[in-house]
Amino acid sequence: METLRFLLVTTHFPPFKMGGDANFVGYLAEALAARGHEVHVAYAPSVYRILRGEPDEKIKREDEMDVIRHEFSPGSARLSLLLNLGLGTDLRSADWVDSVIRKVKPDVVHWHNTKGFVARPWTVDSAKTLYTAHDYNTICPRSNLLRPGERICDGPRFCQLCLLRWRKPPQLWRIGRRAVMDLPEDLKVLCPSEYMASRLRKQGVNVHSVLRLFVRDPGAERARAASPEDLLLFVGIMERRKGPQTLLKAFIESRKEQGFSLKIVGDGPLRRELMDMVTSSGTSDRVSIPGFLPRADIEDLLQKASMMAVPSEWPENAPLTTLEALSFGVPVIGTRLGGLPEILTEDTGSVLFDAGDVAQLRSILIDLWRERDHLGERRRKARKAYDSRFSPDAHVSGYLKIALE
């Protein structure tokens, strides 16, 4: 295949990353470069610095990728951020991206999550132009479909009031029918899940195709070399929509009938409540909540885990933690919401339950303990599913077909 020149446009890019979308853009850039393509990334570390407030010296630098970086550094970064969020435009950032396009002359321009950097993507006449919907930003100013009270929204309405009730600044450019982002007709919109595609199509977005995400391959040998312990693992933000409270309640209620230990990795507003639950239930000998851990420590835990728990109570699109678990041969306990059921099919060795249903999850934990002799087969299924559907090779082959058609 001919060598192509790619330009990936994203707000966040490693090491300036705040979520799975930035990690994925890093994986994609790395995978394309490894296959001999020329990869450029245009991103805005200034947005990360504002939102996180971390000085550069505290940001952990990762292995340098074989990509060419273009960093947008406006003189007044806060003004740029406010203009993009509030008015939907900052001519400086849009003009800067346009100048990068003219300089690089890419064959493919691929937009990712550019919130706070460039309000909406546009097509480039001289290049194939793609956009990946990592979240619900095209149809929801909050990007997550959650109304106050964490009710799932079924369609855009009163969006500015919703923002104010969430204590977020209004997005004046998305008033009324404009709450749904106006995207160019010839932009190839890619969705990581059928659920995302259906939600976007429902609001009139022209979705081109569904293309599953992927994560780095830790290596089949490393996955096979794992030494599973009786460990259940949760990794994520400790918020109600992520469901750690449901997981912990089910674990506590089932503790006399199963012998797992539970490790809840991460931080967030629920951490203190979860720690109090552990103390009051007397399960501190089997439950630990260590806070954030380095990537290497999380990978060590994945090698030891029997199961990963993703008890989300909102419609996840395609959480990378799920794919990372499968890459290590770790089956997942997930909910029947959003894109999770599409990932955690029966052939992954995973188990699904109804979101928020403590009794159902309690029964699953007990059943898994009783059937733990079958864990090896579940692990083989998880790794096989990763190889066939969520590996770099599986993604890039489909990606290049779409990019070049």
Token digits for 204? Answer: 């009139």
Which residues neighbour 100 within 8 Å (Cβ) at sequence distance 6 or greater? Answer: 7, 40, 42, 70
Residue 240 pLDDT greater than 70, yes or no: yes
pLDDT confidence of residue 54 = 66
pLDDT confidence of residue 1 = 58
Residue 344 · residue 375 · CB < 8 Å: no
Residue 387 pLDDT greater than 90, yes or no: yes
Burial class, 199, CB count within 10 angstroms (exposed 0-12 / middle 13-18 / buried 19+): buried
Mean pLDDT over each residue of the chain, to the nearest integer: 92
For residues 129 and 224, membership in a common domain is answered with no
Amino acid of residue 55: P
For residues 224 and 364, membership in a common domain is answered with yes
Between 193 and 182, where is the model more confident? 193
Q: CATH number of the domain that 42 lies in? A: 3.40.50.2000
For residues 122 and 61, membership in a common domain is answered with yes
Mean pLDDT check: name the lowest of 10-24, 75-89, 333-347, 363-377: 75-89
* CA–CA distance, 283 with 255 (Å, rounded to integer): 8
For residues 177 and 137, membership in a common domain is answered with yes
| Domain span including residue 32 | 5-214+391-404
For residues 50 and 179, membership in a common domain is answered with yes
For residues 143 and 283, membership in a common domain is answered with no
| DSSP annotation of 245 | H
Query: How confident is the model over 14-40, as pLDDT tens digits?
Result: 988 888 999 999 999 999 999 999 999
Residue 225 pLDDT greater than 60, yes or no: no
How many folded domains does the chain comprise?
A: 2
For residues 148 and 55, membership in a common domain is answered with yes
* CA–CA distance, 5 with 401 (Å, rounded to integer): 15
Which residues neighbour 147 within 8 Å (Cβ) at sequence distance 6 or greater? Answer: 153, 162
pLDDT confidence of residue 336 = 97
Residue 245 pLDDT greater than 80, yes or no: yes
The partner residues of 89 in beta bridges, in order of sequence, read: none
**Phi, psi dihedrals of residue 259, rounded to the nearest 5°:** -115, 20
For residues 291 and 396, membership in a common domain is answered with no
- Per-residue pLDDT band at 224 (split at 50, 70, 90): low
Instruction: Give alpha helix (H) positions in 225-286.
Output: 244-254, 271-281
